[in-house]
Amino acid sequence: MKRTFITGLALLGLFQLRAQNVPTDSTSYKSKKLKLEEVNLVSSYYKQNGDNSAVTGGIGSEHLTDIANTIDVKLVKYGETGIKHTFDIEAGIDHYTSASSDMIDLSANSSASSSDNRFYPSLTYIRENEATGRTIGIGVSSSTEFDYQSFGGNISFSQKTRDRNGEFTAKFQTFIDQLKLIEPIELRAPGSEDYDSANRNTFAGTLSYSQVVNKNLQVLLVGDVISQNGYLSLPFHRVYFTDGSVHQEKIPDTRLKIPLGIRASYFLGDNVIIRAYYRYYTDDWSLKAHTADLEIPVKLTQAFSISPFYRYYTQTGTKYFKPYGEHTAADEYYTSNYDLSKFDSSFFGMGMKFTPLNGVFGLKHWNTLEIRYGHYTRTTNMTSDIISINIKYK
């Protein structure tokens, strides 16, 4: 936890130096020079425990910790014709330790797989015509860790209605990934120290429509179609058959996912908002799921608010899943990954937001400090906790 707080405060100090040199624009002036509009610093600590590790065939420790730090910088300028140009630059780094990954080599006390770092930068450009309500965006991203490399791209289009109370958005994303095929040690060729690689591709299309119904109610409808192909298994996931033999996880090399959701925000007076969300999910692996989410931000004072939240999730599980030692040679596909099993889960917690008049820690431009804690529990006996801190400059 110390690392989380030290990183966030060090970055805050760095940007306070920059903030002292940024003039505050009046509401009527639109800068034609590139201007720093907003900075978000987010640090989080995550910890989980369970006893259904897929690395050891559906049994064994799922203990994992993750420390994540991200910085998101938004730069804005207006062109000569009044077009708004936004550049969103984000970079994140995670450090995680995993007891289950350490068991890729069953004889190792602490192998190289027990921990890793992930680095994930992204860049997004948004061009908005405020006069017509039309927005076009394009972005690129990447994610790198020892056994995984991902490159992503996206393009989006939004159009507001004539009265500005509604907005239609279409977005397309693609991720081109490459995996190192790290097998469980007992399934590797003797003396082999090199890893083969395989590709995994993801293509996602999203359509959404948001509408201000009245002064109290806003609604968003969203639908996705996600297609994946390539090596969709994880090479170090073991599967044990009824005869005691061990195998690598084997699941189909294509998957089609269709999530459909609705989100609503209701303003109950000046100090209370009720935010509700529901999503239905189905795919061609026979997995169906329902998500229901409720969050109620309450403004207690001019500078302080709380946001209790609760999310319930249930899924049927895929037809390819069986627990430890229950697959047979007659199965074409097989996995003992409990993420693909039938389960119910709950995630609940509290957010606290501080917006002091004189800024966070007396620093004027750092106007928001948000702390969130959540506890997750799943019927497969897995639990986790996460705490995050977000400091915003604006």
Q: Which residue intervals of 218-356 are DSSP H helices? A: none
Tell me, what's the pLDDT at 197? 94
Tell me, what's the pLDDT at 341? 97
Please state whether 179 falls in left (phi above 0), alpha (psi between -120 and 50) or beta: beta
Tell me, what's the pLDDT at 116? 87
Q: What percent of the chain is helix, strand and coil (3-state, nearest 5)? A: 10, 60, 35
Residue 376 lies in a domain: yes
Nearest to 293 by CA among 350, 220, 375, 348: 348
CA atoms within 13 A on the CB side of 192: 13
| CB-count burial class (<10 Å; 0-12, 13-18, 19+) for 338 | buried
Residue burial 24-51, b: 16+ Cβ < 10 Å; e: rest: eeeeeeeeeeeebbbbbbbbbbbebebe
Record the tokens describing residue 371, joined without a space: 């702390």
Residues 165 and 190 sit within 8 Å (Cβ to Cβ)? no
Residue 245 lies in a domain: yes
Tell me, what's the pLDDT at 22? 40
Alpha-carbon distance of 233 to 181, in angstroms, equals 10
What is the residue range of 139's domain?
44-62+97-393
Q: Going residue by residue through the chain (394 aa), what tens digit of pLDDT does each one get?
A: 333 333 344 334 434 433 444 444 444 556 678 999 999 999 999 999 999 999 999 999 999 999 999 999 999 999 988 899 999 999 999 999 987 677 777 665 444 457 889 999 999 999 999 999 999 999 999 999 988 999 999 999 999 999 999 999 999 999 999 999 988 888 887 766 778 999 999 999 999 999 999 999 999 999 999 999 999 999 999 999 999 999 999 999 999 999 999 999 999 999 999 999 999 999 999 999 999 999 999 999 999 999 999 999 999 999 999 999 999 999 999 999 999 999 999 999 999 999 988 888 778 888 999 999 999 999 999 999 999 999 999 8
Residue 80 lies in a domain: no
Residues 63 and 48 sit within 8 Å (Cβ to Cβ)? yes
CATH of the domain at 138: 2.40.160
Tell me, what's the pLDDT at 6? 36
DSSP for residue 356: -
Tell me, what's the pLDDT at 108? 52
At 18, phi and psi to the nearest 5? -70, -35
Residue 7 lies in a domain: no
Alpha-carbon distance of 17 to 393, in angstroms, equals 12
Residue 108 lies in a domain: yes
User: How many domains does the chain contain in total?
Assistant: 1
Tell me, what's the pLDDT at 31? 65
Residue 73 lies in a domain: no
Residue 389 lies in a domain: yes
Nearest to 103 by CA among 197, 242, 232, 237: 237
